[in-house]
Amino acid sequence: MTAKTAKARVRTARAAARSPSKRSANGNSNGKSTWPTLLIAGGVLGAAALVALSPAVWSRVGSVVFGTGARLARLSLAPALVGTILSRVGTTVEQGGRALRRVSEAQVH
């Protein structure tokens, strides 16, 4: 690949990134306006579930959730799974995990 074609590909990619996506209804919307709506809807549904379900049902739900968590914690692979999940939290696929980023930064310096 020559430098000229590489520059053209970069220009095309940047232009595509700047243009509104086909999935968004509003070209200026970046999807952040839906979060307050989702939070409010989640709060309303959670409150409705608390009111509608009896304490016995919540007791069973809690035992299932925390019992499953306890079984997973006893697995020999649990530390590896937790480390993998925590290294990827808050990152995108393009950025890679935090651990990978730290390794690459250490190699540069």
Residue 20 has pLDDT above 70, yes or no: no
**Per-residue pLDDT at 7:** 84
**Per-residue pLDDT at 60:** 93
Residue 78 has pLDDT above 60, yes or no: yes
Whether residue 98 contacts residue 91, with contact meaning beta carbons closer than 8 Å, is answered with yes
| 24, 25, 27, 28 alpha-carbon torsion, rounded to 10° | -90
- Rounded to an integer, the average pLDDT of 80-103 is 64
Whether residue 78 contacts residue 72, with contact meaning beta carbons closer than 8 Å, is answered with yes
The answer to whether the pTM exceeds 0.75 is: no
| 82, 88, 89, 90 alpha-carbon torsion, rounded to 10° | 170
Residue 28 has pLDDT above 60, yes or no: no
pLDDT tens digit string along 42-60? 999 999 998 999 999 999 9
Confidence of residue 88 (pLDDT cuts 50, 70, 90): confident
Confidence of residue 41 (pLDDT cuts 50, 70, 90): very high
- Express as a percent the part of the chain with pLDDT over 70: 69
Q: What is the Rg, in whole angstroms, of the alpha carbon atoms belonging to the chain?
A: 23
